[in-house]
Amino acid sequence: MSDFRNFINGEWVSTGKTFENRNPVDNSLIGMVHEAGKAEVGAAVDAARAALKGPWGKLKVEDRVELLHAIADGINANFDEFLAAEMADTGKPHGLASHVDIPRGAANFKVFADLIRNVPTESFGMDTPDGGHAINYAVRAPRGVIGVVCPWNLPLLLMTWKVGPALATGNTVVVKPSEETPATATLLGKVMNDVGVPAGVYNVVHGFGPDSAGEFLTTHPGVDGITFTGETRTGEAIMRAAASGVRPVSFELGGKNAGIVFADCDFDKAVAGIARSTFENSGQVCLGTERVYVQRPIFEKFVAALKQRAEGFKLGDPNDHSTNFGPLVSQEHRRKVLSYYEKARAEGATIVTGGGVPTMPGRMSEGAWVQPTIWTGLPQTASVIREEIFGPCCHITPFDTEEEAVNMANATPYGLAATVWTQDVSVAHRMGRALEVGICWVNSWFLRDLRTSFGGAKQSGIGREGGVHSLEFYTELRNVCIKL
């Protein structure tokens, strides 16, 4: 049985208070997690502050770049251990975790190492009122101690998406992984020590949100900025905490993303694309599609084809390489998703497929499984069309005109992502401008170039991370003006 301890100042820290970590495939016990209290969170923040003044703060950029590459290489060298840990925590199928989660965990360090080696800063020469000259140039300084609060759906990927740029720009971090998925953040501590990252640069504190490590970290006055991915309501609580001390936040929050399929699309590719955007990671991707709008001439055919896809998934042991659909992350999350399956039924949905719990064999009958589910026939006011479910389900609505599709897609307080399927390049460009989202994919979904901006519009987030955009949050820009 595993023992998940806090990682503070390069050392493993136990506490007197532990909680269980369970595998959602069969509800078996993986291990016990040591919950950090105020004292441990305070020690982690102090260690991170001290590290800024120690060898880390004095490292040449080139040496920091080398260390970031070494961290990425360390993840790859321990690939199987990270993979097993992520699969046990989340129940993700082997194919998904080995192709997406763990490789991106390593790539998130490399991309920001390369960025920081090459990024220029601005400079302006100017004429002065006395007839002389001055030169202005920008210096980027690390922000300081960054609090990193993470969700459970892509644990290593989303944590390193924040830790990578934070360390590349010279900050130190205190990470609070989700209570559901403590394993890979903990394993990364071992890699940090192995490759020689100075003590205190990377710290991990375990626990929950309110009245636990999450709240203790985000309310700690020694934290200079907070980056968070998770639910919009949690973002509001963290923003209130960050108001004390006027500390900046970077948020990637919930979504209720639309998939829009025009009649001229490449039909097979569109069906495959929407099947992926709705059901990948059992629908637990913030960029995922829960509202599908299909142009009327192909509506019936599309619904039938997506139904066939949904019914073709192989649910099962994530270690079986033919499994391509896993459980939800926890029993608690399953209760939430099933409550929406019930609401859809109560509100009069036509259940095209699914809507319940699959029969799983043996030990897996104890797991957090739900059926891939498709609904039609609901008005746009229905709960499952308005609220984020974060499960493997979607509602499909027909539309006639482009304008109608845009209006329905934008009728939400969220604005994270959209996926549009058309072969008309003018329609594609118009949708890219009209949809109120941070990321609009056309004829694709979750196709990531890590140099691009990533984040949400409206209530789906604050700020953008990715490429040079990450510098806005992780550094303070200072202008130096020299009179010549």
Ligand X SMILES: O=C(O)/C=C/C=C(\O)C(=O)O
Ligand Y SMILES: NC(=O)C1=CN([C@@H]2O[C@H](COP(=O)(O)OP(=O)(O)OC[C@H]3O[C@@H](n4cnc5c(N)ncnc54)[C@H](O)[C@@H]3O)[C@@H](O)[C@H]2O)C=CC1
Task: Kindly list the residues in this chain that would bind ligand Y in the complex (CB under 6 A).
Answer: 149-153, 176, 178-179, 208-210, 214-215, 218, 229-231, 234, 237-238, 253-254, 286, 333, 336, 388, 390
Binding partner selected for residue 372 from ligand X, ligand Y, none, CB under the kind-specific 5 to 8 Å limit: none
Nearer to ligand X among residue 32 and residue 468 (C-beta) = 468
Q: Vertex 153, ends 415 and 156: CA angle to 5°?
A: 115
d(CA 314, CA 409) in angstroms, rounded, equals 31
Q: Which is nearer to ligand Y, 209 or 327 (by Cβ)?
A: 209
List Cβ<8 Å contacts ≥24 apart for 51-58. 51/172, 51/198, 51/199, 51/200, 51/201, 52/142, 52/144, 52/145, 52/171, 52/172, 54/198, 54/200, 55/198, 56/170, 56/172, 56/197, 56/198, 56/200, 56/201, 57/170
> Catalytic: 465?
no
Report, in Å, the least distance between residue 417 CB and ligand Y: 11
Which distant-in-sequence residues (6+ apart) come within 8 Å of 395 by Cβ? 290, 291, 292, 344, 349, 374, 375, 376, 378, 382, 384, 385
The closest residue (CB) to ligand X is 286
Positions that interact with ligand X (CB under 6 A):
153-154, 158, 161, 229, 252, 285-287, 448, 454
Nearest approach in angstroms of CB 151 to ligand Y is 3
Tell me whether residue 83 or residue 285 sits nearer to ligand X (CB atom): 285
SS3 164: helix
Give min distance, CB of 112 to ligand X, in A: 12
* Residue 388 binding: pick among ligand X, ligand Y, none (C-beta 5-8 Å cut-off by kind): ligand Y
Q: Provide the H-helix boundaries in 347-469.
A: 383-386, 402-410, 425-434
Shortest distance, CB of residue 321 to ligand Y, whole angstroms? Answer: 26
Tell me which residue has its CB nearest to ligand Y.
209
- State in angstroms the smallest separation of the CB of 390 from ligand Y: 3
Residues 34, 19 contacting (CB under 8 angstroms): no
Whether 422 and 266 have beta carbons less than 8 Å apart is answered as no
Nearer to ligand X, 44 or 287 (CB): 287
Binding at 369: pick from ligand X, ligand Y, none (beta carbon under 5-8 Å per type): none
139: phi then psi, degrees, rounded to nearest 5: -120, 135
If contact means CB under 5 to 8 A according to the sort of partner, which of ligand X, ligand Y, none does residue 333 touch?
A: ligand Y
The first and second tokens of residue 29, run together, are: 């016990």
User: Which of ligand Y, ligand X, none interacts with 287 (beta carbon under 5 to 8 A by kind)?
Assistant: ligand X
- Residue 195 CA to its chain's centroid (Å): 26
Closer to ligand X by CB, 198 or 392: give it.
392
**Residue holding tokens 């890699």?**
191
- Which among ligand X, ligand Y, none contacts residue 208 (Cβ within 5 to 8 A by kind)? ligand Y
- Among candidate residues 40, 215, 252, 388, the one labeled active-site is 252
Q: Which residues are catalytic?
A: 252
